[in-house]
Structure formats: structure tokens, C-alpha cells
């Protein structure tokens, strides 16, 4: 951390956003390079559809270009991006009225060719179990759990990003964990969300 409490990565995000505000497209490219992967995984987990996740992720960056002047600095740039993505996912789910169970086999996951086949198979099965379990959560629970556990955002940042209280974040995560425990106790192998 820097002396003023902002990490080098956060400073780079702020600089890139300022470039976008000033009309420099390379700022948007820097933000896209840094955040498109995490946002794609986030939107994929919320929407359960790779094609829609890609569309929403692209829309997030279009909105960043259009709304760069609306960033108020109350949350990190990352939190702001995830908030835009969460709102876009909610809108997409409302519009779609056809809610698919989360089937995320097509969401891009990093796979190294140097990893033995049996290890990749076990990992793929574990991810499938996690996806099935996540499909049992409400949209609100899945949203906060993914932001906290997969993207490492602190509860205060999640609360600001989603315009809810920290207590609501904690409650949603608690309920999500209870749901996941019950799902895994019904047959799926044990899994610890805190480690993923």
C-alpha cells in the first residue's frame, strides 16, 4: 500500500479512468485489459450464460467510456466496475424472464496444458459442483458471495457498490453459506467457499 492508502494497482486504475474522462481511448483499453477477465467470470456466474456474460462485460466498458465523468471516488474503480456489471446483470435477468439454472461450463477458465489430465478432470468436477451449488442461491446472495469470495472485495466495498448496508452484505453471505452447506450435505463433495 502507498502512504495515502491507495495501492499501485488502484492508482493505475484511477489514472486509466482519468484518461477515459479526457477522451483518451488507451485508458479504456488499460481498464479492459486489467478487468475484463474478472468481470467476465463475475457476469458469467451471475447470468449462467457465456454469450450474455460477454455482452454484459462489453457493455460495462461502453458504459465506463460514456459515464467516466460520473465516477465519484467513493469506492475503488474496481468496485465501480463490479457495481455497473451487477446492475447490468440484474437488468438482463429481469428482461430475460427466462432464468436458466447456472450452467457455466462455457465460461472461460484458465487451464494450463502442463497440468496432468487427472488433476484437470478433478478440478473440472469440483468447478461443476460449485456451479451447481451456486445455482441454488438467490441472485442477491450469489452476487455478494462472488464479489467477496472470488474477487476479494471487502464487505464495505461491496456495500457501497451495491448500495446496501454492510449488515445486508454479511446477512446475504451468511445465508448463501448456509444454502451451500445444505446443498453439499445432500450429496456434492465438501467445498469451502472461503478458499476459492
Spatial CB neighbours of 81, under 8 Å, sequence gap ≥ 6: 31, 35, 39, 60, 64
* Domain CATH code at residue 86: 1.10.1740.10
Give the residue from 82, 100, 118 where a domain finishes: 100
Asked if 70 and 155 sit in the same domain, the reply is no
**Which residues in 33-62 are b (16+ Cβ under 10 Å) and which e?**
ebbbebbbbbbbbbbbbbebbbebbebbbe
Its domain, for residue 116, covers 110-196
Spatial CB neighbours of 22, under 8 Å, sequence gap ≥ 6: none
Asked if 87 and 122 sit in the same domain, the reply is no
Give the residue from 70, 100, 130 where a domain finishes: 100
Q: What is the pLDDT along the chain (196 residues), one digit of tens a residue?
A: 444 568 888 899 999 999 999 988 889 899 999 999 999 999 998 888 888 999 999 999 989 988 888 898 888 899 899 989 998 998 888 887 444 444 444 444 444 457 777 677 777 777 666 677 777 888 888 888 888 887 778 888 888 888 889 999 999 888 888 888 787 776 544 444 444 4
Asked, for residue 105, whether it belongs to a domain, the answer is no
Domain count, the chain: 2
Amino acid at each position: 500500500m502507498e502512504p495515502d492508502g491507495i495501492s499501485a494497482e488502484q492508482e493505475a486504475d484511477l489514472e486509466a479512468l482519468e484518461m477515459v474522462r479526457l477522451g483518451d481511448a488507451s485508458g479504456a483499453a488499460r481498464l479492459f485489459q486489467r478487468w475484463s477477465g474478472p468481470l467476465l467470470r463475475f457476469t458469467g456466474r451471475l447470468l449462467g450464460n457465456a454469450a450474455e456474460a460477454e455482452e454484459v462485460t462489453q457493455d460495462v466498458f461502453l458504459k465506463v467510456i460514456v459515464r467516466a465523468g460520473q465516477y465519484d471516488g467513493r469506492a475503488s474503480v474496481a468496485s465501480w466496475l463490479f457495481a455497473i456489471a451487477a446492475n447490468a446483470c440484474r437488468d438482463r435477468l429481469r428482461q430475460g424472464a427466462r432464468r436458466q439454472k447456472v450452467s457455466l461450463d462455457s465460461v472461460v477458465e484458465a487451464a494450463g496444458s502442463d497440468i496432468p489430465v487427472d488433476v484437470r478432470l478433478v478440478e473440472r468436477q469440483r468447478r461443476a459442483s460449485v456451479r451447481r451449488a451456486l445455482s441454488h442461491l438467490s441472485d442477491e446472495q450469489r452476487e455478494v458471495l462472488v464479489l467477496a469470495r472470488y474477487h476479494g472485495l471487502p464487505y464495505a466495498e461491496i456495500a457501497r457498490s451495491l448500495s446496501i448496508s454492510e449488515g445486508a452484505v454479511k446477512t446475504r453471505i451468511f445465508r448463501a453459506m448456509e444454502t451451500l452447506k445444505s446443498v453439499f450435505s445432500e450429496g456434492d463433495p465438501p467445498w469451502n467457499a472461503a478458499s476459492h
